[in-house]
Amino acid sequence: MSYIPSPTQAEELLKQYNREPFHIQHAETVSKVMGEFAKEYDPDRVDFWRTVGMLHDIDFEQWPEQHCAKADTLLHELAIDEDVIHAVVSHGYGICYDVEPTVYMEKVLFATDELTGLIGAVALMRPTGISDMEPKSVMKKFKDKKFAAGCSREVIRRGAEMLEMELPELIGKTIEAMRAE
């Protein structure tokens, strides 16, 4: 019998496999962003979206070469619901895994995972952080391939296309989600 963990249970699971503060903070950020997007696009399932965001990199710290494949196995062993597993592994589509994001929530995860890293890096460069950040600040750094080079611009672009959003709109919505209380 499978189950859908609450966001709090998902965080506990994440911490069983991740010790690095960076990985935990990234999961918390993506979970928060997913929850904020859910308020607009799927308000009855905010916790589900947050859970997926929290678990999306559950395997990355210990098994980076098997990212998403190991998550698939691990989450099945933990009896996690199939919809959660599909969502989690689909964020690696075309990067490290062949499960395609099919529902809107999965496309949001695909689009915002890398983007939160880029926005976070831009925020670190600003005296006011993210509090008054505008999409144009991120777009400027987006064009600089050397800045936050680990954040794939191609994945962010593909995510925006999946969501049928212009890049500045996706960036603006993600900034707002990261800024939310």
CA atoms within 13 A on the CB side of 54: 22
- Dihedral (Cα; 178, 114, 144, 123), 10-degree rounding: 20
pTM here is 0.97
Nearest to 152 by CA among 116, 177, 178, 126: 116
Alpha helices in 42-145 (DSSP H): 46-55, 69-77, 82-90, 104-124, 135-142
What tokens were used for 35?
A: 């929850």
Along the 181 residues of the chain, how does pLDDT read in single tens digits? 899 999 999 999 999 999 999 999 999 999 999 999 999 999 999 999 999 999 999 999 999 999 999 999 999 999 999 999 999 999 999 999 999 999 999 999 999 999 999 999 999 999 999 999 999 999 999 999 999 999 999 999 999 999 999 999 999 999 999 999 8
Which amino acid is residue 148, in one-letter code? A
